[in-house]
Chains A and B, each alone.
Chain A
């Protein structure tokens, strides 16, 4: 174990996999000479050379399409989107090609590629660059979606994504890049997809979240414990497709209350999927409707004060928990 930042954990994962498998390569805008807008790929061009660390033009559809072709022919490309917001341009390549090739080929052709990059609000990137895409991608069969909330998971899940057979959308939280945590050194450490975990044990209420909202939920849980004597169990989903809600359902059977926390807009969001699935599976165990904590239903403002108002905070989680516990 070593203390690593979320950013370094992502770089370590890519470098370990490039060392392990010569078919792994990375490409993206400003990732080589400039060493990455968020410094994720620092030092990589020097170590692996321009054949495996490819600086691309500003052409996301081309990057994604090239990666689909590479993957179909046996390479394992990792495409960095400067932010996941730019991948919208490449949505046709991702959703209509990467996600469909195995199906259309009757299972003959895999597309083992990763599209990774930062997303989410909190760093004043305004309306076009602060969005979250997990519910958008997780809606489609044929791709996998990861949203790690800790440095260790960022490393372990990215290694699993690179080694796998499927196209993976790897959603990093821009606001977590600097976060530090213990990360295993073992080059074969991986975190499987579709295995949620209990991030904090509790008895009174279940909070379900992922990515940056996981960290916020854990902080809210600590405050609930100190200020309200409420012990919240916090579930980290880790991947949204495949989605493993078993630990959350098991937890709700014990606590009888659930709050789902996401950063994106409320309508049709991940929290809606979580709430509906938990209600289907554990209806008779619920003592209150599953509450959703989400961002405000507006394009993200640039102004710091407005951005803070538009994103979910600990207070919102605490209020929602008190509501489902009939304490408010």
Chain B
């Protein structure tokens, strides 16, 4: 029998084969998951509907397949592999498999689905004759030559921005993309003469159907950047004492925020997805870790950037931040000193603010809001003791950073903040 791409909803016209669990020729039992497919709403496993041998796997992983097209066959006892009598896809029975599938990401999809776009009724009344634009922009316009060039370069069109009419991707866009892969690399200022090593891999992740849907839904509900906030309470007793020792021994002036900058940068190494930018076609993961530090000046807020912060010592960071803040207050910052941040830290501890939420600094996808360290009674080993605590709230761009990803980052950050010796080794 044939396994076909099921129709998972009225709007579904095609689905993507994510992975095959079974290879052609492998024996399968009724109910075995055979492959995972992705639709715009959900990832799901297709199961074998009979015992037999998997044969004629006709679709590769990663391929988009129209609803009703054959994916593979299951051969019963005695049946031979080979091209079966060709039938037109339209004539095939398209089975609605809503009930017989196992949702792998079902709950999440449902949550998104339920969050219908908010309708401003006053607005709707005024413009009720205006047709809703078809938001489905997933089809990329591109010239035939651009497609040919992209495929020979092994580049996905999804990652390329088109410069032709209506965003058509044309040959020069592919050429530029091919030659300028380092487009996201920020210019490096004169702060550090030696070229720093690139710690993380710089790459572009094409948007999956699901990622596009998440982005669209969340943006519709909360504005251009769908923020969410995660707050943690770190124990900074050790950090404060280490700071005091360092400043005494080294005759240095390292602030708590300098510790946080280094800790945040080192934690990013483990979670490059928070060091990213959202694009209409792709999420850019940055190769450098450049921490923007919010500095208030009489004119307003500016965020000078500590470049390659993960590769600088606490003292280097402290000196650099002090110099940058001084320049910022005197309005002497050069553009390369406040541009190209990949992550931002805002600290209102000096103002006695214990906890706050910050607005993401685009094109970053996350910002840390650092509160004041305060002495608190805490229970440790069933004893009430006084410890220094500091609240940190991370604002995340939900299009790129999901809740769990943000939480994992904060967990790693905790290790650096609460065991600050990690910051000096």
Contact = CB atoms under 8 A, between A and B. Distances in A.
A285 B144 contact: yes
Contacts of B353: none
A249 to B, nearest CB: 14
Q: Which of A283, A286, A326 has the most CB of B within 10 A?
A: A326
A284 interface: yes
B34 interface: no
Q: How large is the interface on B (under 10, 10 to 19, 20 to 34, 35 or more residues)?
A: 10 to 19
B164 A286 contact: no
A288 B148 contact: no
B171 interface: yes
A54 B158 CA distance: 71
A256 interface: yes
B279 to A, nearest CB: 21
Interface in B155-181: 163-165, 170-172
Contact of A256 (B147, B165, B171): B171
A287 B150 CA distance: 12
Interface in A242-289: 256, 283-288
Contacts of A284: 144-145, 147-148
Nearest to B165: A326
> What's the dominant secondary structure at chain A's contact region?
loop
Interface centre among B144, B146, B148 (most CB of A within 10 A): B144
Nearest to A286: B144
B375 interface: no
Nearest to A328: B165
Contacts of A285: 144-145, 148
Contacts of B171: 256, 287
A288 B143 CA distance: 6
A283 B172 CA distance: 17
B147 to A, nearest CB: 8
A287 B163 contact: no
Contacts of A256: 145, 171
Contacts of B144: 283-287
Nearest to B164: A326
Contacts of A287: 143-146, 170-171
Contacts of B163: 326
A283 B143 CA distance: 9
A286 B145 contact: yes
Contacts of A288: 143, 164, 170
Nearest to A285: B145
B118 to A, nearest CB: 39
Nearest to B148: A284
Interface of B: 143-148, 163-165, 170-172
Closest 8 CB pairs of A and B: A287-B145, A287-B171, A287-B143, A284-B144, A284-B148, A256-B145, A283-B144, A286-B144
Given A286-B145, A288-B143, A288-B164, 14 more contacts: A256-B171, A283-B144, A284-B145, A284-B147, A285-B145, A286-B144, A287-B143, A287-B144, A287-B145, A287-B146, A287-B171, A288-B170, A326-B164, A326-B165
14 contacts: A256-B145, A256-B171, A284-B144, A284-B145, A285-B145, A286-B143, A286-B145, A287-B144, A287-B146, A287-B170, A287-B171, A288-B164, A288-B170, A326-B163
